A and B are shown apart, each in its own frame.
Chain A
Amino acid sequence: MTDFASAILRCRPGALWSCGETYDSIVWLDTEQTKPTEAELETAWQELRAAAAARKIWPNAQAFVAEFTPAEVAGIALSAAPTVAAMRFKLTTWFGEIHSDNADVLAGLDALVEATILTPERRTQILATA
């Protein structure tokens, strides 16, 4: 069943609206953006489902860090690279789940590859869903 709320948020970010669980329940309040068609929302919903299927989710920062080998953890802990340091700090304050398509996660893993703490193959391995 199409989740119209999620689909509208994807199609028309920042728009004002209310909805229930059907297309007909949508009350369009926005004066700048147009109400999306049902076909548009169906397409957006399928895109969201595809993205969700490809997304790896760690329940918390500890689970994410557990992906790394001891040598990689040591490299992360000792690195002076600014992006790695920023990732290290963000992980200490991260609340809740970590998603593999999060921009901070992807930038952090790229920085680890650049700093030769991770190999490109290990980056792929860490991001891969089971």
Chain B
Amino acid sequence: MAKKYVYLDTATGRQEADDGPAGGGGGSGEVVQVEVATKTDTQTTTANNGTWTDITDLAITVTTTAGQRVVVQAAISVGYVSAVSGTAIRLVRAGSPDVAINAAAVTSGRWSAGAGPLLTSDGNTIASLVHGGTDTPGAGTWTYKYQFCASSASGSATAYINRSSNDSNTNPYSSRAASFMRLDVLAP
């Protein structure tokens, strides 16, 4: 059985994988690199319906060789105002323009990937959106990042990351959450 060695930097929480002291490995489909990004502060936007805002701290830059595959997984905590609005997320490979990864084909074009919840809410709710995607970008250095926007039929809404709508950092609305993304690079 092929083995990989995963190293954890306890100061930063960053993980990296390699073939370990004995070397070898790197066979097809094996994990050759692991990166983790976490976000513990909050972020808010009123930009909506496809005007995307970068989620700060949820971005990872990697260098790949030809044929390597990138796999991204994330759990992102979102808040939203009410049952008639939502918070949408998407994963992109940064560029001009950004390339949406694992984008859903929707005729409206509003949400490229990752649906914000349209759940019943009184403004105190924080939901966790689980999302991921794969990409084979070719040789080069790439930044994968998450973005968010508000979504509403009326075109007016507010989207939150790591906080609820009613949370004003005062009691009784002091609930906060964290978000993270993990990126694996797989051998060709």
A contacts, CB < 8 Å to B: 1, 3-6, 9, 14-21, 25, 27, 29, 48-49, 52, 57, 95-97
Alpha-carbon separation in the docked complex, A29 to B168 (Å): 22
Q: Decide: A18 near B44, CB < 8 A? Known: A1-B169, A9-B158.
A: yes
Within 8 Å CB of B43, what residues of A?
A: 18-20
Indicate if B123 sits at the interface (CB-CB under 8 A): yes
| Pair A18/B168 contact, Cβ less than 8 Å | no
- For A15, the closest partner residue in chain B by CB is B46
- Interchain nearest-CB distance for A29 vs B (Å): 6
Shortest CB-to-CB span from A92 to chain B, Å, is 16
Q: Which residues of A contact B42 (CB under 8 A)?
A: 5, 20-21
Contact present for B41 and A21 (CB under 8 Å): yes
CB-CB under 8 A from B169, the residues of chain A are 1, 3
Chain B interface residue count, Cβ-Cβ cutoff 8 angstroms? 24
Q: List the B side residues contacting A48 at CB < 8 Å.
A: 168
Instruction: Verify B122–A17 contact, CB threshold 8 A.
Output: no
Pair A29/B124 contact, Cβ less than 8 Å = no
Residue contact B44 to A95, C-beta cutoff 8 Å: no
A96 with B170: in contact, given A18-B44, A19-B43, A19-B44 (CB under 8 Å)? no
Of A5, A20, A29, the most chain B CB neighbours within 10 A belong to A5
Shortest distance from the beta carbon of B84 to any chain A beta carbon, whole Å = 12
Interface pair A6/B168, CB less than 8 Å apart: yes
For the complex formed, measure the closest distance between the CB of A4 and the CB atoms of chain B, giving whole angstroms: 8
Given contacts A29-B47, A96-B123, contact A18 B53 (CB under 8 A): yes
**CA–CA, A14 and B44, complex, Å:** 14
Q: Could you give 9 example pairs across A and B, Cβ below 8 Å?
A: A3-B170, A5-B160, A18-B43, A49-B168, A49-B170, A57-B172, A95-B120, A96-B124, A97-B122
Task: Name the A residues within 8 Å of B47 (CB-CB).
Answer: 16-18, 29
Given contacts A14-B156, A16-B51, A18-B53, whether A5 and B123 have CB atoms under 8 Å apart is no
Indicate with 1 or 0, residue by residue over B155-183, a CB within 8 angstroms of chain A CB atoms. Answer: 01010100000011110100000000000
State how many angstroms separate the Cβ of A24 from the closest Cβ of chain B: 12
User: Closest approach, in angstroms, between the C-beta of B180 and any C-beta of chain A?
Assistant: 17
Structural contact, B124 and A97, CB atoms closer than 8 A: yes
